[in-house]
């Protein structure tokens, strides 16, 4: 897997995004594996992983659309805004009708400003906000623009709302959960979250950890936790894995070429005769029609991404070259 590719994993509850990255790095043998956006340990769903040279392409993905399946527990607010925190406020929950809830949800649609939660990885003066919160330090963080494209009520059962959220990158579901609770005349927190889509990556295409465990395990009857999370044990106590080549072949149907994930970018296809010059940074003068100065595009040779380029003051220029790795 030396070509730039992406793999979507359905992250389960209780496992960190870093844990999943470490597992995939170990089973594929790729030195570089990264995710396109973290999920909290309590959250589940689509975790998109960049393999090998694809780690250099993450910043060029279009992940402007995110979809979350979120559950809001009304009547209690926590210090973290999610189920891992301590309850800091309780309030009675009024009798709610579906139409009333839908009307409140509609009020959150559109462009709005949102302040990142105290327990988040957003950095202030080089420190993540959660480090201030854990030490009891209160800091002011400027609100950021977000867009809520859709907020659809899935179910209303007692004091729990299940909502499907479609939003822009950078939106915090836990903050919305708290605001929705207040708008409904009580308080609330995000009690469950599953990421259904992140840009071009969908949960329906994700590989589950049990599936990954079956692909890797040499011995039947092992749980995926036993198979995949045993790297910290002494070598003689770890379950045996299948030969790596067999594992890579089994993963092939789940792995997506980087080119298929960057379809929002226009491209220029260079012939074999110009390939070496393009890899060296000398791009052809032809560019995608209608592209404005600063606009980005892909330089490809068939299905191979050679570089990400843009239109600079003096013409085409490479902003991310993959050289011969692609």
**Largest Cα span, the chain:** 72
Task: Kindly report the number of other CB atoms within 10 A of residue 113's CB atom.
Answer: 9
Annotated catalytic residue: which of 10, 40, 69, 82? 40
Among 266, 262, 304, 269, residue whose Cα is nearest residue 284: 269
Residue 157, exposed/middle/buried by CB under 10 A (0-12, 13-18, 19+)? exposed
According to DSSP, residue 244 is labeled H
Structure tokens at 203: 């949960």
Cβ contacts of residue 236 below 8 Å, gap of 6+?
A: none
CB 67 within 8 Å of CB 45 = no
Residue 212, exposed/middle/buried by CB under 10 A (0-12, 13-18, 19+)? buried
Would you tell me the crossing angle of helices 209-216 and 17-28 to the nearest 10 degrees?
Answer: 20
Q: What DSSP element (H or E) covers 49? A: strand 44-51
CB 197 within 8 Å of CB 165 = no
According to DSSP, residue 204 is labeled G
Structure tokens at 216: 């890797």
- Report the C-alpha gap between 111 and 103 in whole angstroms: 17
Structure tokens at 118: 């105290």
* C-alpha atoms less than 13 angstroms from C-alpha of 13 in its C-beta half-sphere: 7
Q: What DSSP element (H or E) covers 196? A: strand 188-198
Cβ contacts of residue 182 below 8 Å, gap of 6+?
A: 188
246 is catalytic: no
Catalytic (active-site) positions: 40
């Amino acid at each position: 897997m030396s070509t730039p590719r992406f793999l979507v994993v359905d992250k389960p509850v209780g496992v960190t995004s870093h844990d999943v990255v470490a597992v995939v790095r170990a089973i594929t043998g790729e030195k570089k594996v990264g995710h396109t956006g973290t999920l909290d340990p309590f959250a589940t769903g689509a975790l998109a992983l960049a393999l090998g040279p694809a780690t250099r392409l993450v910043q060029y993905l279009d992940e402007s659309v995110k979809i979350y399946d979120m559950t809001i527990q009304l009547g209690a607010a926590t210090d973290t805004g999610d189920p891992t925190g301590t309850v800091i406020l309780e309030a009675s929950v009024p009798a709610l009708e579906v139409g009333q809830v839908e009307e409140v949800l509609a009020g959150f649609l559109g462009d709005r400003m949102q302040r990142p939660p105290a327990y988040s990885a957003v950095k202030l003066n080089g420190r993540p906000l959660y480090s201030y919160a854990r030490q009891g330090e209160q800091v002011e963080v400027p609100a950021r623009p977000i867009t809520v494209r859709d907020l659809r009520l899935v179910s209303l059962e007692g004091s729990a709302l299940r909502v499907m959220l479609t939003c822009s990158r950078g939106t915090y579901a836990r903050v919305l959960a708290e605001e929705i609770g207040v708008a409904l005349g009580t308080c609330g927190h995000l009690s469950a979250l599953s990421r259904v889509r992140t840009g071009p990556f969908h949960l329906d295409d994700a590989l589950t950890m049990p599936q990954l465990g079956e692909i890797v395990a040499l011995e039947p009857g092992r749980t995926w936790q036993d198979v995949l999370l045993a790297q910290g044990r002494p070598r003689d106590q770890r379950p045996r894995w299948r030969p790596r080549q067999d594992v890579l072949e089994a993963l092939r149907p789940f792995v997506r070429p980087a080119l298929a994930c960057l379809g929002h970018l226009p491209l220029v296809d260079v012939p074999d005769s110009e390939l070496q010059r393009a890899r060296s940074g000398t791009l052809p003068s032809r560019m995608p029609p209608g592209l404005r100065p600063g606009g980005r595009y892909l330089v490809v040779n068939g299905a191979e991404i050679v570089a990400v380029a843009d239109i600079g003051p003096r013409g085409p220029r490479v902003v991310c070259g993959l050289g011969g790795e692609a």
